[in-house]
Chains A and B, each alone.
Chain A
Amino acid sequence: DGGITQSPKYLFRKEGQNVTLSCEQNLNHDAMYWYRQDPGQGLRLIYYSQIVNDFQKGDIAEGYSVSREKKESFPLTVTSAQKNPTAFYLCASRVDRGLLNTEAFFGQGTRLTVV
């Protein structure tokens, strides 16, 4: 089945640790996105990538890093520099048609908790 797979579903991080969230898609989508959602809040854009080996910072990129070595994969690393990482992380992808962009499809999310 085509879709976006995020793993793990739940992740616990100790203070000072780096952790990596996985996002894989088999939809042949060009663009991929990472969002963070805090309780009762909307989605805030962390990073996005248009093509392989290229990505742009979103609105809250500090304390996060990404890579896009393959079209299908867009992992997000939450570094120790991110002081308040407890949140729901969502990965999305879409076909990029330039001016009239298509809708984005989401993975099931990863809930990260600092312990």
Chain B
Amino acid sequence: QKEVEQNSGPLSVPEGAIASLNCTYSDRGSQSFFWYRQYSGKSPELIMSIYSNGDKEDGRFTAQLNKASQYVSLLIRDSQPSDSATYLCAVSPYTGTASKLTFGTGTRLQVTL
């Protein structure tokens, strides 16, 4: 079982719609969760971090965390063509000493006009 799993997509949504991106993780001890956006040929940039169960909103973005289900999601409201990118979920398990940061394979989002 992969440590962090995402559907590779592409996920296609029309402009103005809500895009829903999902991620599951295997380590129940994970404490820190991140969503990154990556444009083709560029490095990832942080969108959201979330640490507690529930929702966290920042502008058009909402991150949702459910530790019991080992599930984290990202909602993008009013999707824009500029949101077309690959979205990477990252998880930081707690190991007591080292701080490994593991990424999923990413979901490619296409926002159509």
Contacts and interface: CB of A to CB of B under 8 A. Distances in A.
A and B held together in a complex:
yes
Given A33-B101, A42-B104, A101 B44 contact: no
Interface string B1-16: 0000010100000000
Contacts of B88: 42-43
A92 B43 CA distance: 10
Interface in B32-53: 32, 34, 42-46, 49, 51
Contacts of B103: 35, 42-45
Interface residues of B, number: 26
A104 B101 CA distance: 9
A33 B101 CA distance: 8
Task: Name the residue among B45, B92, B99 with the largest chain A CB count within 10 angstroms.
Answer: B99
B82 interface: no
Contacts of B98: 48, 50, 56
Task: Name the residue among B6, B90, B103, B106 with the largest chain A CB count within 10 angstroms.
Answer: B103
Contact of A96 (B31, B99, B104): B99
Interface in A79-100: 90, 92, 94, 96, 98-100
Contacts of B99: 31, 48, 50, 94, 96, 98, 101
Given A48-B100, A90-B43, 6 more contacts: A43-B88, A45-B100, A45-B101, A48-B99, A90-B44, A100-B32
25 contacts: A33-B101, A40-B8, A41-B105, A42-B88, A42-B103, A42-B104, A42-B105, A43-B103, A44-B103, A45-B100, A45-B101, A45-B102, A56-B100, A92-B101, A96-B99, A98-B94, A101-B32, A101-B92, A101-B99, A102-B32, A103-B34, A104-B101, A107-B43, A108-B43, A109-B42
